[in-house]
Amino acid sequence: MNARAFDLRRAGRHARRLRVRLRALSGLPLLAFLALTGAFSALAHAPYHVQPALIFGLIVLVLTLDDARHRSRPLRAGFARAWAFAAGYFLAGTFWVANAFLVSAQDHAWLIWAPLTLLPGGLALFWGVAGVAYVRLRPRGSARIAAFALIFLAVEALRSGVLSGFPWNLPGHVFVAGAPMSQLASLIGALGLSALTLYAFASPAALLGRGAARVRAYPIMISGLVLGAGWAWGATRLADAESVETGVQLRVVQLDRAQTDLRPEFRDEILDEYLALTTQTGLDEVDLVIWPEGSVPAYLLNEPALLARIREALPLNTRLVAGAPHVEWALDRTPRAYFNALHALKVQDDTLLVEARYDKAKLVPFGEANTLAAFTRPFGLETLSQYGIGFDPGPGPQTLTLGDIPPFAPLICYEVIFSEYASGTNTRPEWLLNISNDSWFGHSAGPSQLLNQAAYRSIEQGLPLVRSATAGMSGLIDPHGRVVHIASTEESQVLDLALIADAGPTLFRQHGHAFWPIIFVFFAGLAQILPRAAQVLTRLSLRPGVAKN
């Protein structure tokens, strides 16, 4: 017996022992175990990136779904098991959202149960449906790994778009952005990388099944081949990558303030801090100053006194991009619409010119907008926004051009987790600008997760990304997703950054999601063809007159 066969048999024995122990569980103990396993699996995401945690979790999920087919009510069992796993997974990955409900604790603290139950429970419904589909199809042998990956990828795609979408912590995000494996996103996007991740991480579950050990090991072998080739290609891509500076100098201003201190009554004090930081030595060499989302808690364009202070403090021809809310008025001078906006301003002799404005289009459900207000209003929840009853959505992705500044795609807060918002509009952007207010979530895992996902937009588009965040992670990411510089999250400071040039169009930037389904279907088909081919070869080797090794 060679070492390879020994390793496969030993792995098979471990898998069989795990399956026996899982079959010994049932009812609520099993669902509790799955929820804990799902929570443990979330360690695969930022800021920890313990990928074996998700490997273990997906193996357990596949084995328990296989067992669900033998229960008296298999579809219900499939839904409950997948839902319980996903509820724990999403709770551990998004629990920090609850911090936002403590900002106005006197009004919203009693609702803290909602982000800790309804959010993970609602996201888990997608995986519950996938569990039903998997059990209903009853895939067998090593082909069931491909079926599992395809089904769960389909629901992840739905989760990314249904009801505004929330593509948070996709399976592909377990790889650190900027590392070799993450470079596959330049070809097939983060969603395509998620397809490979689901297949590869669940592949050890194929060791439990019928047939020879080598046949059952084909999914692992294919996964090893694909991931190994992907890592090698990514490492080569990074080795050949060079960052070329454009000559444009940016000054990113970061203010370290808790969200409880970012209120309209403090706007003068806050503006003083921003101006003091902005006017530090070296401003005459800066081409563009960037303030984060909601930097000044006031309707900036409707506050002549605040605009005058900015104009007087900044040198002539200074360009400033600042996040601040915006209100549009009806003819009778009543508010008609509220927007979470990015304002592009330029200091001129006697005025502060508004060169452009971008209104956030992807609004945070319940945080900035509430389509279910008629149902939640009786319970005291309109939105968490302190402006009116929430914001209105803007028209969608845009590309902004400010004088000699290379055109850029503005992304406010969590818009950066949506691939389609990084492509701009008619004019292709040459860099991405993400302004955010991370103070809502404190020093939790949330800002780290958002930074990692933001970096995937750079990889997909081949564009550098500049980030300015209040009490978050401000800095520069190169076109390959690598962090060039990130500021500390616990101090107010300025970052003077040299803008990096566009690395050229990636396959994903040119064709979007057109290619990854073809690639994944190819490997899924290969996973089914190889075991059958092995069976044919085995039968041929057993025919009389055929020599045996």
* Residue range 125-152, pLDDT digits in tens: 999 999 999 999 988 878 889 899 999 9
Measure the N-to-C terminal CA separation of the chain; round to a whole number of Å: 12
| Position 547 confidence tier, pLDDT thresholds 50, 70, 90 | very low
| Position 212 confidence tier, pLDDT thresholds 50, 70, 90 | low
pLDDT at residue 118 greater than cutoff 50? yes
Say if CB 462 and CB 504 are below 8 A apart.
yes
Share of the chain above pLDDT 90, in %: 56
Say if CB 317 and CB 347 are below 8 A apart.
yes
Structure token pair of residue 134: 């998997």
What pLDDT, in 10s, does the model give residues 402-441? 999 999 999 999 899 999 888 877 778 999 999 998 877 7
Backbone angles phi, psi at 420, to 5 degrees: -65, -20
Q: What is the pLDDT of residue 140?
A: 82
- Of residues 341 and 525, more confidence is placed in 341
Distance, C-alpha 420 to centroid of its chain = 13
In terms of Cβ atoms closer than 10 Å to its own Cβ (0-12, 13-18, 19+), residue 160 is buried
| Position 4 confidence tier, pLDDT thresholds 50, 70, 90 | very low
Neighbours of 52 (CB within 10 A): 11
Q: What is the pLDDT of residue 105?
A: 54
Structure token pair of residue 35: 């929820």
In terms of Cβ atoms closer than 10 Å to its own Cβ (0-12, 13-18, 19+), residue 403 is exposed
Q: What is the pLDDT of residue 280?
A: 96
What pLDDT, in 10s, does the model give residues 345-398? 999 987 899 999 999 999 887 667 655 554 555 555 555 555 556 788 899 999
- Of residues 119 and 527, more confidence is placed in 119
Distance, C-alpha 87 to centroid of its chain = 18
| Position 549 confidence tier, pLDDT thresholds 50, 70, 90 | very low
What pLDDT, in 10s, does the model give residues 334-350? 778 889 999 999 999 87
Q: What is the pLDDT of residue 2?
A: 45
Q: What is the pLDDT of residue 511?
A: 87
- For residue 433, the cross-strand partners are 410, 466
| Position 1 confidence tier, pLDDT thresholds 50, 70, 90 | very low
pLDDT at residue 251 greater than cutoff 90? yes
d(C-alpha 422, C-alpha 453), whole Å: 12
d(C-alpha 290, C-alpha 435), whole Å: 8
Structure token pair of residue 107: 């009004």
Query: Does 413 qualify as catalytic in the annotation?
Result: yes
Query: Does 362 qualify as catalytic in the annotation?
Result: no
35-44, 157-166, 287-296, 316-325: segment of lowest average pLDDT? 157-166
d(C-alpha 300, C-alpha 305), whole Å: 9
Q: What is the pLDDT of residue 387?
A: 58
User: Span 256-271, mean pLDDT?
Assistant: 85
302 DSSP assignment:
G
Q: What is the pLDDT of residue 261?
A: 78
pLDDT at residue 539 greater than cutoff 80? no
Share of the chain above pLDDT 70, in %: 83
Closest CA to 300 of 341, 250, 335: 341
245-499 CATH fold: Nitrilase/N-carbamoyl-D-aminoacid amidohydrolase (3.60.110)
Catalytic entry in 156, 346, 362, 413: 413
Say if CB 159 and CB 130 are below 8 A apart.
no
224-228, 261-265, 286-290, 337-341: segment of lowest average pLDDT? 261-265
pLDDT at residue 455 greater than cutoff 90? yes
In terms of Cβ atoms closer than 10 Å to its own Cβ (0-12, 13-18, 19+), residue 496 is middle
Residues 6+ apart with CB under 8 A from 106: none
Catalytic entry in 156, 346, 360, 362: 360
DSSP per-residue letters across 307-355:
HHHHHHHSPTT-EEEEEEEEEEE-TTS-EEEEEEEEEEEEE-SS-EEEE
Alpha carbons within 13 angstroms on the beta-carbon side of residue 86 total 29
Q: What is the pLDDT of residue 428?
A: 87
Q: What is the pLDDT of residue 442?
A: 72
pLDDT at residue 196 greater than cutoff 60? yes
In the chain, where the domains are located: 3-239+515-541, 245-499
Neighbours of 17 (CB within 10 A): 10
Query: Does 293 qualify as catalytic in the annotation?
Result: yes
Say if CB 465 and CB 476 are below 8 A apart.
yes
Helical pair 113-137 and 51-68, crossing angle rounded to 10 deg: 50
7-11, 92-96, 222-226: segment of lowest average pLDDT? 7-11
Say if CB 134 and CB 65 are below 8 A apart.
yes
Using DSSP's 3-state secondary structure scheme, residue 66 falls into helix
DSSP per-residue letters across 447-511:
HHHHHHHHHHHHHHHT--EEEEEETS--EEE-TTS-EEEE--TTS-EEEEEEEEPP----HHHHH
Q: What is the pLDDT of residue 548?
A: 46
Residues 6+ apart with CB under 8 A from 322: 290, 291, 295, 296, 300, 342, 343, 345
Q: Across all residues in the chain, what is the average pLDDT?
A: 86
What pLDDT, in 10s, does the model give residues 27-44? 889 999 999 999 999 999
pLDDT at residue 250 greater than cutoff 90? yes
What pLDDT, in 10s, does the model give residues 467-508? 999 877 899 999 999 999 988 767 889 999 999 999 988 999
